[in-house]
Amino acid sequence: MITRRTFFTMTGAGALALVAVDAAGQRRVLAEVLPGGTLAAGDIPRFATALVIPGVMPRTSRLTRRGGKNLDTYEVAVRQFTQQVLPAALPATTVWGFGPAADRDTARFHAPSLTIEVDHTRPVRIRWSNELVDGAGAALPHLLAVDPTLHWANPERRPDEHGVAATDNRPSFEGLTYVPPDSFTDPQTQYTTYQGPVPFVTHVHGAMHVGDESDGYTEAWYLPDAVGLPDDLARHGRWYPFFAAKSERTYGTPWGPGYSVSHYPNHNRASTMWYHDHTLGMTRLNVYAGPAGFFLVRGGPDGDSAVLDSRTGAPAVLPGPAPRERDRRPKAYGEIPLAIQDRSFNADGSLFYPDTRTFFDGFEGPFVPESGVAPVWNPEFFGNTLMVNGRVWPFHPVDQRRYRLRLLNGCNSRFLILDFSSIPGVLVHQIGNDGGLLATVHDVMAADAGRLLLAPAERADVIVDFAHVPPGNHVLRNLGPDEPYGGGEPDVDFPLPDPDTTGQVMQFRVSASTAPDPSTPAEFLALPAIAPLPPETRVRRLALLEHMHSLGEGGPTAALLGSVDADPADGPAGTTHLMWMDPVTENPSLGDTEVWEVYNLTADAHPVHIHEVAFEVVDRQPITVVDGFVDLDPDSPRTPPLPGETGRKDTVIAYPEQVTRVRATFGMAGQYVWHCHIVEHEDNEMMRPFRVGPLQPGQPE
């Protein structure tokens, strides 16, 4: 019998990734793991390309304002260009990325993009421009196949099942049959993938106290200001006009064709954030194409200057230097941002991403509307290479000294388990996570055998000490699986990744140091205390759910969020499945502190991200799930947050058959979202709006 877990083991990596479990519980690989494009991962040279360290995004201006704080401004555009992602012996790759809008060429555009550096509580204004156009100003189509059957941006305003022609809906295809683009001939009987200009809206992941007009709301997307756009094509999403008017009213900054303007007060603790697209039903595609970058908050009472040397009580010295805006040429940086992502490629260098559901589980139809199965959407995708800072399997020279690595899991679906134990003599200490510095340093080697788990969108701030690592070449490995992650031990609860491809991240080339290391050893760092959030005034019970189809092997048609109907501690409780279009059910009052209990009724772990807040992870507790009902033994043990989850977070792993509790204070009124950050799930109903405070006059219904 194929269970939910066995099904995903069999098919989560693609139709050819077949794994059987025999009567003794042993796994047998029946076919090649992780198919991708026409370029086999094994044919790509490893450690042939130097790591690229992103520079810093240049400011457009620094404004002095009367009666208020000074303001830094940026003008940032997203464009299409080619980049040498693969080693130089292989073709370049067409990607998207951000860069300074004033630059006429794309020399400073990169994927991932330049880092935006801001000061704690110093306001920043960014004009985000969608410039996905060709040299003549005509709109470019997407690099990847866009499934039009999801609840998505829908610039064509294709009518829904009620005949309502609007953006941001789930269109109806009643009476039509799906065909791929090269077979599409008759719009009266057929439909195909979306071929039009690309909707885009930028979200700064982790930003707090940001007005909803600046958060990158998923229905506030906009098309490029391109020449020749058809008159019947919507230029923007449903919420764009409301937020544009609010921005001009609040800040005096109008929006216009092809751009929006966001304001960030930067009330976050000093922390590692990142920015990326957040368009409804398309985030997986837009992010996979390349546009993302680090967004670092520095300074303040919880910043680097608050870290002390426990031996003397004097300010500690953290590894550096970090890239700076005015750097004329690359330096021997001691603080390095590392964005780790998985990708697959074709032989011509182009990105590969599935253009049919058949890739996922072999299901060949019927698709929407004859069934509930979308023709193109894949429930998860796992690339067969690992890429760091936009280069596949790079190398980086380091001295026998300490380095500060700001790590980001930027993968669509893949959980990473970085394995530093493969580097002899290395010391690794985690000092920060999503929400900034931890309260105490965590020894990753001693406590976790050198393993660091990162779900998609999670970040970790670590000190890596190479002082006792022998000179030579050493590989940072990955133990995270080539399939959906459900927790547990590598090679016990799930198979190891391919050791020759996705089991390798990058290579460090260690050389003897020629100068003393001035930084403070990590074990002597005294980190600033973190004040707890206020006690909660309300507990909300939320659910992670899914829809399965009854055809073929019964794979998922959508991943969903919902609510638990009663307290499971009082007996089995039912759940309510909710779609994106359903009315808001989470509506904290402004200033309230709440505990959100997230009950995971699926077989997979999900990284849950709540916009606008930095929360505390409270604990986890086992639940029992039977026929869609949830039961909780109130006397069962509660597991406290792991050391790396303490302090503040914006993304938390919700494990299968557990309730995960987080506490948050909602300090900004407006309309926001919470969702799973497996972006394939997010794009197909595993995202919900929430509202802080009352309805705003004139907001979209």
CA dist 450 → 218, 234, 429 (Å)? 38, 51, 9
pLDDT band at 67 (very low <50, low <70, confident <90, very high): low
What is the per-residue pLDDT across 459-482, written as a single tens digit (0 to 9) for each? 999 999 999 999 999 999 999 999
The answer, yes or no, to whether residue 21 has pLDDT greater than 90, is: no
Q: Residue 682 belongs to what H/E stretch?
A: helix 679-682
- Other beta carbons within 10 Å of 325: 13
240, 257 Cβ separation under 8 angstroms = no
Torsion angle of C-alpha atoms 300, 304, 306, 308, degrees rounded to 10: 180
The answer, yes or no, to whether residue 10 has pLDDT greater than 50, is: no
Average pLDDT over residues 248-253: 95
Average pLDDT over residues 399-420: 98
Torsion angle of C-alpha atoms 457, 48, 99, 304, degrees rounded to 10: 60
The answer, yes or no, to whether residue 354 has pLDDT greater than 50, is: yes
Give the SS3 label for residue 539. Answer: strand
| Both structure tokens of 464 | 């890596």
Return the minimum-mean-pLDDT range out of 23-37, 160-174, 615-629.
23-37
Per-residue confidence (pLDDT) for residue 552, from 0 to 100: 53
The answer, yes or no, to whether residue 2 has pLDDT greater than 80, is: no
CA 183, CA 429: separation in Å to the nearest integer?
55
The answer, yes or no, to whether residue 18 has pLDDT greater than 50, is: no
Amino acid at 97: G
The proportion of the chain whose per-residue pLDDT surpasses 70, expressed as a percent, equals 94
The answer, yes or no, to whether residue 238 has pLDDT greater than 60, is: yes
Per-residue confidence (pLDDT) for residue 701, from 0 to 100: 86
The answer, yes or no, to whether residue 516 has pLDDT greater than 60, is: yes
Question: Which residue is listed with tokens 């959407």?
Answer: 377
What is the per-residue pLDDT across 100-128, written as a single tens digit (0 to 9) for each? 999 999 999 999 999 999 999 999 999 99
The answer, yes or no, to whether residue 176 has pLDDT greater than 80, is: yes
Radius of gyration of the chain (CA): 24
How many residues comprise the chain?
A: 701
What is the per-residue pLDDT across 73-93, written as a single tens digit (0 to 9) for each? 999 999 999 999 999 999 999
Per-residue confidence (pLDDT) for residue 70, from 0 to 100: 87
CA 21, CA 495: separation in Å to the nearest integer?
11
Q: For the stretch 378-409, what's the b/e string if a residue is b when 16 or more beta carbons lie within 10 angstroms of its beta carbon?
A: bbbbbbbbbbbbbbbbbbbebbbbbbbbbbbb
Average pLDDT over residues 499-505: 97
CA 677, CA 673: separation in Å to the nearest integer?
12
Per-residue confidence (pLDDT) for residue 22, from 0 to 100: 40
CA 12, CA 20: separation in Å to the nearest integer?
13
Q: List beta partners, residue 475.
A: 507
Q: Is the pTM of this model over 0.85?
A: yes
180: CB partners within 8 A, 6+ apart: 192, 193, 355, 356
Count of CA atoms in the C-beta half-sphere (13 A) of 44? 35
